Amino acid sequence: MPPDIHRPALLREHNFIAQQWRVAASGRVYTVSDPATGLDFAEVPDSGADDARAAVDAAHAAFPGWRARTARERAQFLKRWHALIIAHQEELGRLISREQGKPQHEGRGEVLYAASYVEWFAEEATRTYGDLIPEPVRGKKLMVVKEPVGVVAAITPWNFPAAMIARKIAPALAAGCTVVAKPAEDTPLTSLALVRLAEEAGIPHGVLNIVTASRANAPAVVDVWLADPRVRKITFTGSTAVGKHLARESAGTLKKLSLELGGNAPFIVFDDADLDAAVEGLMASKFRNGGQTCVCPNRVYVQDGVHDAFVGKLVARVAALRVGPASEPDSQIGPMINARAIEKIERHVADAVANGARVVTGGTRLRDSQRDGPHYYAPTVLVGAQAAMECSCEETFGPVVPVTRFHDEADVVREANATPFGLASYFYSRDIARVWRVADQLECGIVGINEGALAAESAPFGGVKESGYGREGSRYGLDDYMHTKYLCQGQL
């Protein structure tokens, strides 16, 4: 039992299937480790195909009952769940920081962010309006109603263990769908704790099911869901490679899909920008969760006239960031999630330097007596980054800012768009015509204009191109869990 989790009831180390906390059918477990120390601190089921199938059996059996409830009843459940999440903000925040590594204030903040989706969809549940369409000929009525798609499989990543699962489960339940979920192998405990609170909030039998699995066994679980015709939708946040696999494999039963995949966000600072605001925005968007977010700027373009001044201000801020475990309350950058993550960061920085970029601050893994874990990387600024470097082509997912100097607006927009990805983009400018021109041309789902903090439960979150499709949050988010049924009544 981790000593810093005050309410033992919130720590669950079992699957939740058909309203029961169960071990894996095989009896196998895998360990969850603390990224701050690399030490194991919990064990959860290493589930397989049998567990995945049992979860679908339960969700499928529960679907008719759940969809038959009024939207108001479903909303009431979500409101109770929301209240319990808020009441356990501290414990959940600590659990997030413990298994994921983010600083304490970010862990607590993520709980509120996750809860905001539950509240939003509690409210939206009652607004799934249909339409009455003016009849083209006399004697008919044309109507449109929205229906829940059925059983939804939710597969989530490790970087926001509470928010990612909440913003999938909440709209699914609001719409009248039932759910089978698999959290990321690195961070299953927060998801299990949220499901425990859903149980306390009175979720009916079989409506919400969750199974955990190691990375090696993730395909065994998910493949069952991909092949099962009873699963009508897959909602996934994670890498583009896995997203494409899910799209291919779910084609056999033509499931509805929401894919929130990788990004490669550009952050453009024009000569006419408010430089202090741009530095502030970059700090907020880049270093949240140590740079391990899919919307965080990955490529920073700064125009000639302000390049040196911007880099000077940025480096002063980056060099002052405090790196350390979440157990130290003033930490601003935690450990990276695992060895794979830190190796990628090292590879990207080494490649950039080998190809002519210069490290202005950081550029190394950290190890000292305070930071004795294996996964700390110094916040880093590189100048002279170029388009062909690995750090410009794919997400580094760490506290590294590669800066590229540019001269011309049209060139930088072209370069910003020269990626298969299209999730978030940011730019800073005080020229009103440029603001509209650039916002219009950026190929992405989300644009920050003189703003680094974009996420809100009331706004649509999602990408274009190989960043995926579907939207989470907002009034658009519920449609992803419903289909549109047309009713035509004649003989009137």
Joined tokens for residue 13: 């180390």
The window from 39-47, 182-190, 318-326, 436-444 that contacts ligand ADP (CB under 6 A) reads 182-190
The window from 80-88, 90-98, 179-187, 386-394 that contacts ligand ADP (CB under 6 A) reads 179-187
Within positions 459 to 488, which residues make up the interface with ligand ADP, using CB under 6 A?
none
**How big is the site for ligand ADP, counted in residues (CB under 6 A)?**
14
Site membership for ligand ADP, residue 161 (CB under 6 A): no
Give the residue with the Cβ less far from ligand ADP, 95 or 242: 242
Residue nearest to ligand ADP (CB): 238
The window from 92-100, 218-226, 441-449, 462-470 that contacts ligand ADP (CB under 6 A) reads 218-226
Site membership for ligand ADP, residue 110 (CB under 6 A): no
Site membership for ligand ADP, residue 169 (CB under 6 A): no
Q: Which of 110, 185, 294, 444 is catalytic?
A: 294
The window from 64-72, 212-220, 273-281, 321-329 that contacts ligand ADP (CB under 6 A) reads 212-220
Answer yes or no: 177 catalytic: no
Joined tokens for residue 330: 């003033």
CB of 164 to ligand ADP, least distance (A): 9
Please name every residue paired with 400 in a beta bridge, in sequence order, or none if there are none: 380
CB of 341 to ligand ADP, least distance (A): 8
Answer yes or no: 260 catalytic: yes
Applying CB under 6 A, which of residues 35, 157, 422, 468 lies at the interface with ligand ADP?
A: 157
Give the residue with the Cβ less far from ligand ADP, 160 or 310: 160
**CA distances to 367, 368, 400, 455 from 274, in Å:** 36, 38, 22, 22
Site membership for ligand ADP, residue 156 (CB under 6 A): yes
Q: Which of 260, 395, 415, 472 is catalytic?
A: 260
Applying CB under 6 A, which of residues 28, 67, 245, 434 lies at the interface with ligand ADP?
A: 245
Residues in the chain: 492
The window from 89-97, 115-123, 164-172, 214-222 that contacts ligand ADP (CB under 6 A) reads 214-222
Q: Which of 295, 218, 255 is nearest to 473 (CA)?
A: 295
Applying CB under 6 A, which of residues 152, 154, 218, 403 lies at the interface with ligand ADP?
A: 218
Give the residue with the Cβ less far from ligand ADP, 157 or 325: 157
Query: Would you state the torsion angle of the CA atoms of residues 77, 83, 88, 90, taken in this order, to the nearest 10 degrees?
Result: 140
Site membership for ligand ADP, residue 222 (CB under 6 A): yes
Site membership for ligand ADP, residue 219 (CB under 6 A): yes
Give the residue with the Cβ less far from ligand ADP, 12 or 182: 182
Question: What φ, ψ does residue 261 adopt, rounded to 5°?
Answer: -110, -165
Contact residues for 212 (Cβ-Cβ < 8 A; gap 6+): 15, 30, 44, 45, 46, 47, 182, 183, 185, 188, 192
The window from 21-29, 96-104, 235-243, 446-454 that contacts ligand ADP (CB under 6 A) reads 235-243
Q: Which of 339, 58, 325 is nearest to 204 (CA)?
A: 58
Applying CB under 6 A, which of residues 239, 355, 417, 441 lies at the interface with ligand ADP?
A: 239
Site membership for ligand ADP, residue 184 (CB under 6 A): yes
Give the residue with the Cβ less far from ligand ADP, 218 or 438: 218
Interface ranges with ligand ADP (CB under 6 A):
155-157, 182, 184-185, 215, 218-219, 222, 238-239, 242, 245
Residues catalogued as catalytic: 260, 294
